[in-house]
Chains A and B, each alone.
Chain A
Amino acid sequence: MSLKQYIKKLIRFTFLSFTVRPSEKIGPQTEWSEEYDTWEQAAAQTSGYDTNAILDKVKYAAEKVQNRESAYERDSVNFDKIQYAWPILACLQKIAISNNGHLSVIDFGGALGSSFYQTKAFLSCLSRFQWFIVEQKHFVDVGIDSFETKQLKFAYKIEDILESHRIHCLLLSGVLQVLPNPFAWIEQFLEFGFENILIDRTAFTEGKTKLTVQRVPHTIYQASYPHWFFNETEFISRFASHYDIIADFDSKADGKEIFRRSGEVLYWKGFYLKKRD
């Protein structure tokens, strides 16, 4: 085997095992289908993101974190060590400093607190720290029932939180690409007028914005759901009228770049957006 062939084989191997999906160490990779025209068409091919199977696995993993049997979970997979999302931590702390050491975050699509537990060790020194998760109803039901603390709260709607709390930051981590109508949601977020928006683990393509179906390997949880890849320029232009980009960053939890068979580059990244005065 030539060196070149060997490298190719190695890349293919590592590609499958390490770069495609954050959570698994070895196993079948996440797959994305070809393009669909509408969410309905894509959804008809999937089990959906709202299955109880996902909730059960996430709950089981989150309970381990809650009971300190595991340091951290992401996408229902437990880890021995916290894998810090360093850019998010830096941005949240910067926001806290600019708000006299107070920080209230709405974590839209935050499951049962993955990002909360991931950042808590660095943020619990704040004089006031509150983390609100807005999720699908069955997640919120379980969240309120089993996971709420003084710092961590769950809500069905963003409006419910804004009625009684001042929020410093909206966190959108790996969520926009699995919403039926992400651009309509972005419009909504703009109307709420959050001072800061942190976007992380968001899926982009170098081509035009497209809708595919993602099949999650059964080692994580057996599921498939519609999944967007955004054109970065188009995506960021939706925020451009109201927000400045303070920083952008690679989403380390996910492979920075992966190539589909067609040669298309898919990548994951994040942004720190600040509302213009």
Chain B
Amino acid sequence: MSLKANIKRRIPIQIKELYYRFTDTAKSIETPWAGNYSSFLEAKANCEGYQTDIIFNKVLSAALKVRDGLAAYERDSVVFEAVQYNWPILSCLLNGALQKERPALRVLDFGGAFGTTYFAARKFLPPEMVIKWIIVEQPHFVKKGKEEFENKELSFVYDVASAFKDNEIDIVLFSGSLQYLPNPQLFLDDLLKYPFRYLMFDRTFFINQDDNRIVVQKVPDHIYKASYPCHLFNEEKFLQHLIMLDCKLIAEFESEFDADSQTKDNKIVYHKGFYLRCHG
């Protein structure tokens, strides 16, 4: 992380907001967040390039490079020469495994693309650890995932029900995926009907305002040209909903890979992760 990024993440949100207001930065810096929509459908109607082949091919090409040893690591279709370990995620995965008599890890990775988190974590997790990693993704990802990336630990399925049908799951992971669901709250309500012990969120978007907001996110051009509808959550409401669903917060952490940003009306958008115990 650069000095600038390091300083940025340590500034309290209130000071940042004052700063943005004072300097009118929002007008001079392009924000990735547009609009304030009343529904996800409305936001979606204002997007371009959602689910396009270009994104799919870029993500696929980056993941293949990692699979074939041509790159150490990829994230959001960007390849890296060295693995960037996600330490909070590794800690929580290991913790989930250690709670059992024989360390084993059965993960449902919702929106895990072609295994970004799996391949990075696998390099660190002890080789003797028994791992079952199931990715739930969009149909074209699942189809290609099965063809190119499945191994004895990693598999791809089309929906949550299929993942639970044939497997026992310990941890459900959302790494930057929950905010792209049309109705995340309802999705969590349904998910929590399944038996699993831990819930982990990483790279989840939060907004410093009293309520959730539906926006259009513009992906930076250097990654790929696209815009998506997405939710920016109010952190307190997000956690309250989970607590209402009988989850208990174990730990929270800053998402290592994402810098803060702001909306056009100077609200700070930040990224966090949570590790929760479910079902009491």
Asked if A and B are interacting partners, one says yes
Q: Which residues of A contact B126 (CB under 8 A)?
A: 94, 97-98
Question: Is B253 touching A84 in the complex (CB atoms < 8 A)?
Answer: yes
Question: Is A86 touching B91 in the complex (CB atoms < 8 A)?
Answer: yes
Given contacts A19-B7, A125-B95, A125-B98, contact A94 B87 (CB under 8 A): no
Interface size class of B (residues with CB under 8 A): 20 to 34
A247 within 8 A of B: yes
Q: Which residues of A contact B90 (CB under 8 A)?
A: 86, 90
Point out the residue from B11, B125, B253 that lies within 8 Å of A94, measured CB to CB. Answer: B125
CA distance A81 to B87 in the complex (A): 18
Complex interface residues of chain B between 1 and 43 (CB less than 8 A to chain A): 1, 3, 6-7, 10-11, 19, 22-23
Chain A residues proximal to chain B, CB less than 8 Å: 3, 6, 10-11, 14-15, 18-19, 81-82, 84, 86-87, 89-90, 93-94, 96-98, 101, 121-122, 125-126, 246-247, 249-250, 255-257, 259
CA distance A84 to B256 in the complex (A): 14
Question: Is B95 touching A122 in the complex (CB atoms < 8 A)?
Answer: yes
In the complex, the chain B residue whose C-beta lies closest to that of A96 is B98
B129 within 8 A of A: yes
CA distance A101 to B128 in the complex (A): 12
Q: For the complex formed, measure the closest distance between the CB of B98 and the CB atoms of chain A, giving whole angstroms.
A: 6
Chain B residues proximal to chain A, CB less than 8 Å: 1, 3, 6-7, 10-11, 19, 22-23, 85, 87-88, 90-91, 94-95, 97-99, 103, 124-126, 128-129, 250-253
Given contacts A90-B91, A247-B85, contact A19 B97 (CB under 8 A): no
Question: Is A14 touching B91 in the complex (CB atoms < 8 A)?
Answer: no
Point out the residue from B6, B10, B19, B22 that lies within 8 Å of A257, measured CB to CB. Answer: B6
Question: Is A18 touching B85 in the complex (CB atoms < 8 A)?
Answer: no
Question: Is B11 touching A14 in the complex (CB atoms < 8 A)?
Answer: yes
Q: Which residues of B contact A125 (CB under 8 A)?
A: 95, 98-99
Q: For the complex formed, measure the closest distance between the CB of A259 and the CB atoms of chain B, giving whole angstroms.
A: 8
Question: Is B253 touching A86 in the complex (CB atoms < 8 A)?
Answer: yes
CA distance A101 to B88 in the complex (A): 20
